[in-house]
Amino acid sequence: MIKKLLEISFKKDGGHSPLYLQLASEIIQLICCGILKPGQALPSSRELAQGLQINRKTVVATYEELSAQGWVEPKERSGVYVSSHLPDTSVRAINQNSKKLIRSRQPGYPLIIKRSSDGATIKDPNIEINAVAAPPPLYKIDDGFPDTRIAPIEQLVREYRRFGKGRLTNQFLMYGPEQGSYRLRVELAKFLNRTRGMQVSEKEILITKGTQMAIYLTTQLLIRPGDTVFVPEPGYLDANQTFKLAGAKLVFIPVDKDGMDVDRIEQLCKKKVPKMIYIIPHHHRPTTVTLSAERRMRLMNLASRYGFALLEDDYDFDYHFTSNPLLPLASVDTGGHIIYVGSFCKSIAPGIRIGFMVAPEAVICEAAAIRRLIDRQGEQLLEEATAELLSTGEISRHIKKSHKVYQGRLENTCRLLREQLGGYLMFEKPNGGLAIWATYRKNISASSVALNAGKLGLKISDGRNYFFQPNISKPQNFIRIGYCSLDEKEMATAIDIWKQALTPFAAK
């Protein structure tokens, strides 16, 4: 036992806890792994201090801390003993390198593994929990993210600090409404009414952490195991996974140049009415197409006739370049069929988790009750700071500024793609959004190109997670090309690397 105690090592630099707490932690480890038994005597403070070559006062402080926590019990004129009230533990395995308990890599309890209707585990295949850390790529052509370098972060931080030091600071640091900051909901209602033609009040808005939380809350409100949800194909992986998690049966609706195939939706409704249809009518993800006005009207009429819900995901309404964008379906919803979700993650930055759900007041109240169970509420200081930027017009000015920047980057990227990669891929310049939808020419594998590019320092799409129909061969040569987060010079370099990765396919 003395030998084990004398093997304890300390980290003495300023970034670690005091020595007496480090020693206390090590002794607790020895007790928990069964090496130190209940009632066993510990070395005197003098003996342990000499053996470890530390100050005796450190050992005294350690024993006092352990006694206060109930791990040891001092006995007058006898010494310090492991508490006799602790249960006797069999000796457990120790990692000889770290001298710590070896933790099991498997749970010691049964898990309810969420699986889809085809039996596959519901998870993102791109996520590797135990993946070996790899150096970050030199360049990344992402899925369609904004350039955070031009985001109004300085202004947001300024307002955050101001609210953090004001007379209402204590109020904002306490629990607030589950629906989100009242002021933010008021300002957001004005913003949506002005920019999207909506006629909503703060009572019809719930603030969420991004669009994904809004999708999850909607699913919890509407979907029971076995319910049918119509989704676009190709479509958005995370939304599909959320519906599957709730036990929904997904029916895939083809997407063409005018958006989801409403003829197909109407045919299917005659056989079985879905509980909900998930739509991305503006810059559909991943294809970037916009649902035509004619199809929008027909879809609204079908919702009214059959009584299903429409979950409208409007994730990047603000960036349309060739004409004025079509207004959301929610702007003309008089029957209460639409739940409208969006966020500032694409217009400001993905890390600014301010999203929103717009729906009839009764729906918002129920969604807020569920939100309370998983996250209680949003971050009030951030919400108040965002409300201030909406009120002063800072966010609108940023959107106008970034709109001009991104339009220039779209033109530049399309030119580079045609000049450098025209022999390898095909695409059409989108009317808006933050990405380009392209397909490789015959015999070029997106996964192989992505692998080659990764070795050269460029991360690009590998063609997965766009098509989802089970038991159907899924195309692997489509890619989504985000063009906003790299400036002109960076994009030119990235595409040059991409061209090198395509070299092995030049002769095919």
E strands in 183-281: 205-208, 228-233, 249-256, 259-260, 276-279
Percentage, residues of the chain above pLDDT 70: 90
| Cis omega (within 30 of 0) for bond into 286 | yes
Amino acid 61: pLDDT: 95
**Domain covering 148-397 in this structure, CATH number:** 3.40.640.10
With cut-offs at 50, 70 and 90, classify the pLDDT of residue 132. low
Residues of the chain with CATH 3.90.1150.10: 139-146+402-505
Residues 6+ apart with CB under 8 A from 216: 242
- Mean pLDDT for the stretch of residues 166-175: 80
Amino acid 342: pLDDT: 96
DSSP label at 38? T
With cut-offs at 50, 70 and 90, classify the pLDDT of residue 286. very high
Distance CA 422, CA 424 (A): 5
Say if residue 54's pLDDT is above 60: yes
Residues 6+ apart with CB under 8 A from 496: 420
Average per-residue pLDDT for the chain: 90
Which contiguous run of DSSP H or E holds residue 381? helix 380-392
Residues of the chain with CATH 3.40.640.10: 148-397
With cut-offs at 50, 70 and 90, classify the pLDDT of residue 30. confident
Say if residue 231's pLDDT is above 60: yes
Least confident among 75-89, 267-281, 453-467? 75-89
Amino acid 93: pLDDT: 59
94-114 pLDDT per residue, tens: 665 555 656 667 787 787 766
Amino acid 111: pLDDT: 78
401-432 pLDDT per residue, tens: 999 999 999 999 999 999 999 999 999 999 99
Give the predicted TM-score (pTM) of the model.
0.86
**CATH top class, domain 2-101:** mainly alpha
Say which CATH architecture domain 139-146+402-505 belongs to: Alpha-Beta Complex (3.90)
Residues of the chain with CATH 1.10.10.10: 2-101
For 193, counting Cβ atoms within 10 Å of its Cβ (0-12 exposed, 13-18 middle, 19+ buried), the class is: middle
Amino acid 58: pLDDT: 93
Amino acid 108: pLDDT: 76
Amino acid 474: pLDDT: 85
Say if residue 128's pLDDT is above 60: no
Distance CA 467, CA 465 (A): 6
Say if residue 162's pLDDT is above 60: yes
